[in-house]
Chain A
């Protein structure tokens, strides 16, 4: 008997005392916290992101380019990698001092030599201060937002949901072309040494969030 057949046979033999039919629990439960108002959801999101020691800058729809320029200047980044589908207006304000690199078959070592990355995002969660990337064209493949040390991430207020179940619902993989997901809550961190929290281990050590509000 193949390992698969044997394991499945064992599994079936182990539960012959149970009678509930498949799916007896019904719809998957959805337990979340209610949002008081859309405005409060946004405030909570900002509060929680800051709590993780990430930076948050709030701008109007026309302010993204300037905010990105200011951020890269503040971190002293002289190079930035951009995903192919990024809104060109976002990098239009960058001066000559910053080398803009398109993601054309860059290897890990190439990426390691680039200071920063700019991405959009898919969904964000207020109760947890989480930003989710689904690595679409305006976010790029996963390595892009992983290897450079500064991640500038643009979040649109309309993408912020109140709680985790709603985010999960919005992110349901599409039949035929599921996307990989990266959930980001603050910069990387470790508490492995005497439980002393150190921000910044392997992922980007700086997370800079630009929130667009209408």
Chain B
């Protein structure tokens, strides 16, 4: 490779903000609403606590965990530095395997491609495997606008779809619903679109899962088109990987004639052997299992086995904007395991909906403002939706330094407003403090940072800042304990507060 003279990177365009999110209140207000919902808080605290404990146990089984994390981060950094080369290699190998590759600059283009492909088959319905990329581009809405029914087949996604709401957690999207709500939703909705729920349906999880099995089986058997995402796309071999638990993924990836996979350009792994790293990191970080029940890997079309009409849509949709930020680009290493959500005290209390995006929690707080920019109130406030306690970084299998990125983004938000404001001065001080964990701990011990630098009277001027965030928590404004001390204590005692 010839050494080219270094230049400032140029950013690709931002993701167009969906009308769904334009009306979102900024984080503190959405969070305040969520905090009032005790059912959701209880469910979330329980869920994050359980998954956190399971994760800790299976991570502790691997004595070389830190080496694995480093290997994962290195693989993604190799990709990010040479994405063009790896994307071309991926396309070449997918094509060799019999798949057709499409490229989409943004959500609208991706949706158009998928809608046209589905229409081309004559199908009026599709079955879907849970995929964050298709949620991000709001594909279901685009399909429905063209008269195509999109059936979610992951149990939680089915609950969300039938409940006409939005996912609240990456891994367990319906965690804000309890069993009796789910029973009601199934009884009301299943019959409208297919096999109804049995008359004697109880709220036992086993019975509810059985009802979903029977309802969806009918759809799997007759569907001719499936739509998926991919957890990984291996450039070296042109292989796509879907990691799942229930078997709905296998059904979708195997039974229909046509398979369309929507894949973000950052999902690529350079080599096949990288799966040796990622198939250890992802299941243990995500569900806290040694391995998830099912993983499907396919490389284009396999003669006489599974879909014979295979398409892959590679999407940018703001990713090249993130890639151009030398500090922020490491967010693209994310494998959507949700470990950072489960460890985040802010997320545990506010829930996923407050983030106004399909990407909630700490990863959402750094990814959304980078993908979409900080024009909207919610995106402006997201970098402040954190106490910078550092738990997310410790948990992240990709070693994404989320606290560092949050500080970086806070500075950007403030820069956009001008440094010579109260916020600007506060942020400059904040960046100095956050730049060094010890310094921060010292400062926090003296008082909360927000209180110290600004004084209560100026707090509301800071967009979603610590002080403002503190003010919506149901504890006195300036706690006797700093957040870090409180969180460390709580972890020591084990379990939810």
Contacts and interface: CB of A to CB of B under 8 A. Distances in A.
A121 B202 CA distance: 38
B220 A17 contact: no
Interface string A137-176: 0000111001000000000000000001111110011000
A128 interface: yes
A125 B279 CA distance: 12
A89 interface: no
Interface string A1-14: 01110111011111
Contacts of B155: 190, 192-193, 201
A129 B251 contact: no
A166 B299 CA distance: 20
Nearest to A3: B103
Contacts of B9: 13-17
Secondary structure at the A interface, as helix, strand, loop or mixed, is loop
Given A178-B97, A192-B174, A198 B205 contact: yes
Interface stretch (A30-38, A64-72, A74-82, A93-101): A30-38
17 contacts: A7-B105, A12-B84, A14-B11, A14-B12, A31-B67, A31-B276, A108-B255, A125-B291, A128-B291, A142-B306, A173-B272, A180-B306, A182-B296, A184-B294, A190-B209, A191-B287, A193-B174
A189 B271 contact: no
B216 interface: yes
Contact of B273 (A18, A21, A128, A168): A168
A168 B275 contact: yes
A201 B206 CA distance: 9
Contact of A28 (B7, B206, B273): B273
A30 B239 contact: no
Closest A-B pairs by Cβ, 3 of them: A203-B247, A165-B276, A202-B247
B279 A164 contact: yes
A22 B254 contact: no
A129 to B, nearest CB: 6
Given A25-B77, A185-B290, A201-B245, 16 more contacts: A10-B320, A14-B9, A14-B10, A16-B4, A20-B81, A28-B274, A31-B276, A142-B306, A178-B238, A180-B302, A180-B306, A182-B296, A191-B172, A191-B287, A193-B205, A194-B43
A193 B46 CA distance: 12
Interface of B: 1, 3-4, 6-12, 43, 46-47, 50-51, 61-64, 67-68, 70-71, 74-75, 77-78, 80-85, 87-88, 91, 97, 102-105, 109, 153-156, 159, 172-175, 178-179, 182, 205-206, 208-209, 212-213, 216-217, 220-221, 237-239, 245-248, 250-251, 253-255, 265, 270-277, 279-280, 283, 287, 289-300, 302, 304-306, 314, 316, 320-321, 323-324, 326, 329
Nearest to B287: A191
Nearest to B43: A194
A12 B295 CA distance: 32
A173 to B, nearest CB: 5
A202 B85 contact: no
A129 B291 contact: yes
Contacts of A190: 155-156, 209, 245-246
A198 B209 contact: yes
Given A184-B294, A185-B293, A8 B62 contact: no
B221 A112 contact: yes
Contacts of A39: none
Please indicate which of the listed interface residues B1, B153, B246 has the most CB atoms of chain A within 10 Å of its own CB: B246
A134 to B, nearest CB: 10
Nearest to A188: B247
Nearest to B113: A3
A33 B302 CA distance: 33
B221 A141 contact: no
A128 B275 CA distance: 14
A61 to B, nearest CB: 28
Nearest to B247: A203
A127 B290 CA distance: 8
A116 interface: no
A203 B273 contact: no
A195 B74 contact: no
B6 A202 contact: no
A18 B81 contact: yes
Contacts of B320: 7, 10-11, 13-14
Nearest to A13: B10
B254 A29 contact: no
Given A28-B271, A30-B276, A198-B205, A189 B245 contact: yes
Given A2-B103, A13-B9, A198-B205, A203 B302 contact: no
B159 A192 contact: yes
B216 A202 contact: yes
Contact of A17 (B6, B63, B287): B6
B103 A29 contact: no
A201 B71 contact: no
Contact of B7 (A11, A17, A30): A17
B290 A201 contact: no
Contacts of A24: 78, 81
Contacts of B173: 192
Contacts of A193: 155, 159, 174, 179, 182, 205, 208-209
B273 A48 contact: no
Contact of B71 (A7, A31, A169): A31
B217 A112 contact: yes
Contacts of A179: 302
Given A108-B255, A143-B255, A183-B295, A15 B3 contact: no
